[in-house]
Amino acid sequence: MGQDAIDKIQAQIIAPSQVLYVDQKNGNDNNDGTTQATAVRTLDKAVSLITKNIPTLTIKLTTYTEPENQIYNTFNISKPIDNNNLKVDTFKLMGTWETYRTEHIVAKIIVPYGKIETGIYDYSVEPAEQYYQWGRFFIEKANTIYLQSVLFEFSDDTIDSEKYRNSIVYGLKKSFQIRDLYGNTMTLKNNCSIINVYGQTNIDIINFDADNATVTGTSLIIDDSNSKRYKTDPKTNPDAEYVSGGTVGGLITKYINNSVNFTGNTLGSTKGLPSKTKAIYTQGFD
């Protein structure tokens, strides 16, 4: 048995779950983040504290109802979360329940810019150089995602679909659920999706159960394509070497909408699915 397998078994037996608290008003990045009283201040710090191979991770984002404190309800993170490295099975991200319940206030995350490994290399040079997918992503190669009282916002700087691809979840492997967004709206700008299922064919369920929230915008909620893949950042190096992108559809077993109002072009004429991605069973998108 290899060390990776041993580490995974130990993580599952010794600590099958981990909870981390983030409070941008009262937290401190010198804290351990394990309780509300010892919350960290930034999402970046919380990510640095994640235990690898943990079966269930919960990150709780503190939100505030007072107008003067609502600036602390918007969270930034410096780069996408790489679950290829962390290997967390179930990732839960939750805004504070009390403020959602009383005022329908949710945490808002600005989707970060970064790169994702593609496994495509230029072997004509030594050492071989990898081509990356660039854009705005919150988490890549996630297994199971559960979002509660959390919205995401995309910036305008990466809407060029030839250069960039933007998605909250890139490479979903198992399941996705979003809940408790009543009265709130998320906007999918051009070339911005909720989930990119490029090449993922074993997705169990995608469930939108968000208490009559609205998702609107100009893009479909699901994407299954890539833009050009670059060796270096196309933002800072417009002439960066690239290879063309493509489309590889995914397969979803259950695709369910319980209580989200999809408007704009988010469903298109295909229930929000791109042409090469299929769902065996759909409900609530008609």
Task: Please tell me the predicted confidence (pLDDT) of residue 150.
Answer: 98
Question: pLDDT 10s digit of each residue in the chain, 286 long?
Answer: 565 545 555 555 566 999 999 999 999 999 999 999 999 999 999 999 999 999 999 999 999 999 999 999 999 999 999 999 999 999 999 999 999 999 999 999 999 999 999 999 999 999 999 999 999 999 999 999 999 999 999 999 999 999 999 999 999 999 999 999 998 999 999 999 999 999 999 999 999 999 999 999 999 999 999 999 999 999 999 999 999 999 999 999 999 999 999 999 999 999 999 999 999 999 999 8
CA 249 – CA 84 distance, rounded (Å): 20
Cβ pair 158, 137 in contact under 8 A:
no
Number of domains in the chain: 1
Structure-derived torsion over alpha carbons of residues 74, 43, 61, 187, reported in degrees to the nearest 10: 40
- Domain containing 183 equals 3-283
Task: Please tell me the predicted confidence (pLDDT) of residue 8.
Answer: 52
Task: Please tell me the predicted confidence (pLDDT) of residue 20.
Answer: 98
CA 154 – CA 109 distance, rounded (Å): 9
Task: Please tell me the predicted confidence (pLDDT) of residue 193.
Answer: 98
User: CB-side exposure of 186: number of CA atoms within 13 Å?
Assistant: 35
What are the beta bridge partners of residue 177?
146, 207
- CB atoms under 10 Å from CB of 246, counted, come to 12
Task: Please tell me the predicted confidence (pLDDT) of residue 12.
Answer: 54
CA 45 – CA 94 distance, rounded (Å): 16
CA 132 – CA 116 distance, rounded (Å): 6
Task: Please tell me the predicted confidence (pLDDT) of residue 286.
Answer: 84
Task: Please tell me the predicted confidence (pLDDT) of residue 15.
Answer: 66
